């Protein structure tokens, strides 16, 4: 079953926003965490599966402390080329606010060998190894019983660190080295 971009496309007016419509579909194992200053500041965690980015809103962002269980609320599938989107979604548009690429890279699927990522997600639990500029190591994404909410939890491995706080200490984009304010200013110039 391929990912579906109908919901994503129905919520956007592409003539008004710089968000990608979604044309790239080369298979891969990309992931991205985008810092999104919309109605509230949150982080969007996205992993590539079925030709799209499966997406969750993570209000507190990821943690490197395995004791932290981060709420992850599913959102609509996004096109793979959204992994490179950084900019301002205009007022009045779905998701209005500033977006930066906080971290990105490729992942390795750690769940059972005979189960692909998409099937693991349908079953409600996937484990992946992230290789990024700020995050490295294993993470588990698990659906809470009887709910359409998930938990994102860092695994206990060499990437785990209770003291390191990358959200606070490394707030800038890995693509542009800009913070949200700088991206917002550039967006005002483009309007």
Going by their DSSP bridges, the two strands 150-154 and 70-79 should be labelled as antiparallel
Helices then strands, counting H and E runs in the chain, come out as 4, 9
25 vs 36: CA distance, rounded Å: 24
Per the CB < 8 A criterion, the answer to whether 82 and 22 are in contact is yes
Average pLDDT value for residue range 142-149: 90
Lowest mean pLDDT among 54-63, 122-131, 182-191: 182-191
Confidence band for 190, pLDDT divided at 50, 70 and 90: low
pLDDT score for 189: 57
Cα(130)–Cα(135) distance, rounded to whole angstroms?
7
85, 20 in Cβ contact below 8 A?
yes
Q: Is 16 left (phi over 0), alpha (psi -120 to 50) or beta?
A: alpha
Q: If you average pLDDT over residues 86-113, what whole number do you get?
A: 94
Mean pLDDT of 90-113: 93
Kindly report the average pLDDT of the chain as a whole number.
90
Compute the half-sphere exposure of residue 52: CA atoms within 13 Å on the CB side of its CA. Answer: 20
For residue 2, the model assigns a pLDDT of 53
Tens digit of each residue's pLDDT (9 = 90 or more) over 13-36 = 777 777 776 665 545 799 999 999
**Average pLDDT, integer, range 176-190:** 88
Q: What is the pLDDT of residues 80-92, one digit of tens each?
A: 999 999 999 999 9
Q: What pLDDT, on a 0 to 100 scale, did the predictor assign at position 1?
A: 38
Q: Where are the domains of the chain?
A: 29-190
What are the pLDDT digits (tens) for 4-17?
Answer: 777 877 887 777 77
Tell me the C-alpha distance between 104 and 28, whole Å.
Answer: 13
C-alpha to C-alpha distance for 74 and 180, rounded to whole angstroms = 23
Using CB atoms within 10 Å of the CB of residue 129, give its burial: 0 to 12 exposed, 13 to 18 middle, 19+ buried.
middle
Pure H helices in 22-149? 117-123
| Contact criterion met (CB below 8 Å) for 161 and 65 | yes
Residue whose structure tokens are 């542009």: 176
pLDDT at res. 22:
64
pLDDT (tens digit per residue) in 47-88: 999 999 999 999 999 999 999 999 999 999 999 999 999 999
């Amino acid at each position: 079953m391929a990912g579906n971009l109908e919901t994503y496309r129905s919520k956007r007016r592409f003539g008004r926003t710089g968000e990608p419509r979604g044309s790239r579909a080369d298979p891969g194992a990309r992931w991205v965490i985008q810092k999104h200053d919309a109605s509230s500041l949150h982080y969007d965690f996205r992993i590539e599966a079925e030709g799209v980015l499966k997406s969750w809103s993570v209000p507190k962002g990821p943690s490197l402390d395995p004791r932290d269980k981060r709420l992850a609320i599913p959102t609509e599938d996004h096109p793979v080329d959204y992994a490179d989107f950084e900019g301002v979604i205009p007022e009045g548009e779905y998701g209005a606010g500033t977006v930066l690429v906080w971290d990105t890279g490729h992942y390795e699927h750690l769940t059972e060998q005979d189960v692909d990522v998409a099937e693991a997600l349908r079953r409600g639990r996937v484990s992946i190894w992230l290789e990024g500029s700020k995050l490295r190591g294993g993470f588990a994404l698990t659906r809470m019983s009887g709910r359409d909410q998930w938990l994102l939890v860092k695994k206990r491995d060499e990437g785990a660190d209770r003291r390191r706080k990358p959200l606070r200490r490394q707030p800038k984009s890995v693509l542009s080295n800009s913070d949200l304010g700088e991206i917002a200013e550039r967006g005002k110039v483009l309007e």
